[in-house]
Structure 1
Amino acid sequence: MAHQHSHSEGNGNRSRLLAAFTVTALFMVAEVIGGLLSGSLALLADAGHMLTDTAALLVALLAVQFAQRRPNERHTFGWLRLTTLAAFVNAIALLVITVLIVWEAIRRFYQPQPVAGGFMLVIACAGLLANLLSFWLLHRGSEEKNLNVRAAALHVMGDLLGSVGAIAAALIIIATGWTPIDPLLSILVSALVLRSAWTLMKESLNELLESAPSSVEVVKLKRDLTLNIAEVRNVHHVHVWQVGEKPVMTLHVQVVPPYDHDALLQRIHHYLHQHYQIDHATVQMEYQRCEGEDCSLGSSEHAHHHPH
C-alpha cells in the first residue's frame, strides 16, 4: 500500500508539473512574440524570467520521471544526475540571455525605440494570469513533500514580480509616453533572472563536482555520531555527495567491539536517517584506530580520548 501511495503521489506531482510547464512555456512564447511586435524589451526580459520558470519546471518534471526508473548494472544510481546536467545547461543559457538583454537595454537608453503600450499591457496581463495559474497548479496536493515541486513554485512566484513590473511599465508608457521605463524595467527583471540563474548554476555545479550537500555539515555530523552513539570513538574517511535529491555517504567509524555488530550498524544507519535524512550510507566499522597518513581526511576531532 505504501508503494502504491508513493506511485500515486508521483503521478500527481508529474501531472501538476506537466500542466504548469505547458502553461508557462506557452505564455513564455507569447511574451517573446508580444515583446517583438510591441517593441518592449521589458516583455522580452520577463520572457527570459519565464524561461527560468520553464527550465525549473522541466528539471522538476524530469526528476519525477527519472526517479521512477530503476537503476541497472551500468547506471547504478539511475538517471537522476541527468536533471542536474540539464539544470547546469539551462543556467548557462540564462546567463547568456541576461547579458544580451542588458546590452540591448543600455543601447536603448541612447537610442530610444517606440513601444506599443496597449499591446504590451495585454501581453503582460496574460503573463500574470499564466503565472497565477501555474502557481495554483503547483500548490495543490503534496507539493510541500517534494523539493522539486516546491522549488518550481518559488520560481513561478518570483516571476509574478516581473509580470507586475511589466504591467506597471505599460501603464506608465500609456499615461506619459516615457519609453525609457521599458529598458529600465528590463534591467531590473534581468537582475532577478541573473540571481535565479546564478543560484541554479552554483547548485548544479556543486552537485556535478560531488560537493557535500548544503544541508549536511560534515564536521557536525561526525561530532554528533561520537557524542550520541557511545560505542563510536572516531569517524574518518567521510565522503558525502548528492544524486538528484538523495544525499549519499560513505564513512569509516572506529568503534568499541560490540556485542551485536548488526545492531550497532543499524543504530548508526537509523541515526543518519533520523537526523540527516541520509538513507543510502556505506559504513565501514573498525576496531583499531586509523593510523594511515590519509586518516585525517574527515576525521572527528571530537572523538573520545584514549591513551595510545
Structure 2
Amino acid sequence: MSAGHSHGHGHSHGHGALEDRRRLAVVLGLTATVLVVQVIGALVSGSLALLADAGHMFTDAAGLGIALVAATLALRPATPRRTWGYHRAEVLGATLQAAVLLAVGGWIMIESIRRLFDPPEISSTAVLVFGAVGLLANVIAIVVLTRGGRSSNVNMRAALLEVVNDTLGSVAVLAAAGVIALTGWQQADAVASLVIAVLIIPRTLKLLRETVGVLLESAPPGLDLDDVRRHLLALPHVLDVHDLHATQITSGLPVLSAHVVVEDSCFSDGHAPQVLDQLQTCLAEHFPVSVGHSTFQLEMAGHAAHELHAHV
C-alpha cells in the first residue's frame, strides 16, 4: 500500500517561474547592452580589470540567457514521459553557469598575476567612466532580481550571484582607476582583477557543489535522513523503515520515498490510512525541510523477505 501527497506546489512553482522569466529577460537586456559598452571601454583604456569585468559581464549575459531558457522550460507542464516536467532544467542551467564562471575566474587570476610583473599603461579616466556605467547597470539588475524578496530558486540565485559578483567587480575597477589616477601605480589594475577572481571562484564552487548535489540525487540540504528514520520509527504501529530515499527535483521541490513496515493488524483493523497521514504530517512539520511530495509503501513484517533488492 502506498500513498503520494501534493499540496498545490506545481501551481505556485509555475507562477514563480513566470515571474522569474520576466525578471531574467529584463536583466538580460540590460546586461547585454552594458557588455558592449564595457568591451569598448576595455579596448580604449587597456585595463585588464575592466576587461575582466566585461568578461564577467559576458558570462552574466550567457548565464542569464541559459537561466531564461531554463525558466521558460520550467513552465512547460508535466507529461507521461517527463512526469516532473522540466523543473530539472533550472538545475542544469545553474550548473552550466557555474562552470563558465569558474573558467572565467581562473583565466582572470592567471592574467592578473602576469600583469603584476608586466603592467601595461592604463587610462584611468576611461576606466572610471566605463566602470561607473557597469556599476550602475549592476545595481539596477540586483534591484530587478530581488524585487519581491529573495528567490529560493537555484537558477535565480545563480543569476543573482553573477550580478552581485559583477557589482563587486565594478567597485574594484573603480577603486583601481582611482589609485592609478592618484598615484600612477599601474599594478592596481592587476590587483583589482585578482579581487574580481577571488570574488568569483569561492561562491561559484559553492553553487557548483549545490547543483551537482541535486543532479547526483543527494538528499536535500538540511534534511537528515537518520533523523527522519528515527522520527518515523517513533510513530505508532511502525516497526521498521527501509529503502528511505530523498532528493530534490529542483530547488524548493524535495521528494521522499520509503518502505514502512507496520503491524499486521493495520491491514485488518483500518489503521493503515491513519499511519499514512501520520507519516505525511511528520515529514511536513518536524524537519527544517518540509517535504510535500512523499510516497510510502506500507508492508507487513514478512514482506521484506520477498523483495529482490538489498535494503538501505
TM-score (norm 2): 0.82
For 1:69, the aligned partner's letter is: R
Q: Percent identity?
A: 36
Aligned to 2:236: 230
Q: Aligned in 2, Cα 1:221/1:21: closer, same or farther, shift over 3 Å? A: farther
- CA deviations on 1:36-92 (whole Å, 9 max, x unpaired) are 331111122223444565466445544542332111122222122222222222322
Aligned to 1:263: 274
| Partners of 1:18 and 1:243 in 2: CA distance | 24
| Partners of 2:94 and 2:153 in 1: CA distance | 17
Aligned to 2:3: none
- Tell me, yes or no, if the aligned pair for 1:251 and 1:284 is still in contact at 8 Å: yes
Q: Aligned in 2, Cα 1:272/1:53: closer, same or farther, shift over 3 Å? A: farther
- CA deviations on 1:165-191 (whole Å, 9 max, x unpaired) are 111111111111111011111011101
Aligned to 1:301: none
For 1:252, the aligned partner's letter is: H
1:98 aligns with 2:105: yes
> What are the residue-to-residue correspondences of 1:1-308 with 2, within 5 Å?
10-51=17-58, 53-54=60-61, 57-58=64-65, 60-141=67-148, 143-144=150-151, 148-149=155-156, 152-227=159-234, 229-245=235-251, 246-256=253-263, 257-258=265-266, 259-274=270-285, 275=287, 276-288=289-301, 290=304, 294-295=310-311, 297=312
SS at match of 2:291: coil
Aligned to 2:4: none
| Partners of 2:231 and 2:11 in 1: CA distance | 35
- Tell me, yes or no, if the aligned pair for 2:255 and 2:291 is still in contact at 8 Å: yes
Q: Aligned in 2, Cα 1:195/1:75: closer, same or farther, shift over 3 Å? A: same
Report how many residues are paired: 294
Cα drift, residue 220 of structure 1: 1.3
Cα drift, residue 268 of structure 1: 1.5
- CA deviations on 1:251-298 (whole Å, 9 max, x unpaired) are 111223433322321332233233432222221111216467833x1x
TM-score (norm 1): 0.83
- CA deviations on 1:73-112 (whole Å, 9 max, x unpaired) are 2222212222222222232222222222222212212221
Structure 1 unpaired stretches of 5+: 298-308
| Partners of 1:154 and 1:26 in 2: CA distance | 19
Cα drift, residue 218 of structure 1: 1.1
Q: Alpha carbon RMSD of aligned pairs, Å?
A: 2.8
Using the TM superposition, name which of 155-164 and 184-193 deviates more. Answer: 155-164
- Tell me, yes or no, if the aligned pair for 1:234 and 1:253 is still in contact at 8 Å: yes
Q: Aligned in 2, Cα 1:8/1:204: closer, same or farther, shift over 3 Å? A: closer
SS at match of 1:284: strand
Q: Aligned in 2, Cα 1:8/1:201: closer, same or farther, shift over 3 Å? A: closer
Structure 2 unpaired stretches of 5+: 1-7
- Tell me, yes or no, if the aligned pair for 1:84 and 1:208 is still in contact at 8 Å: yes
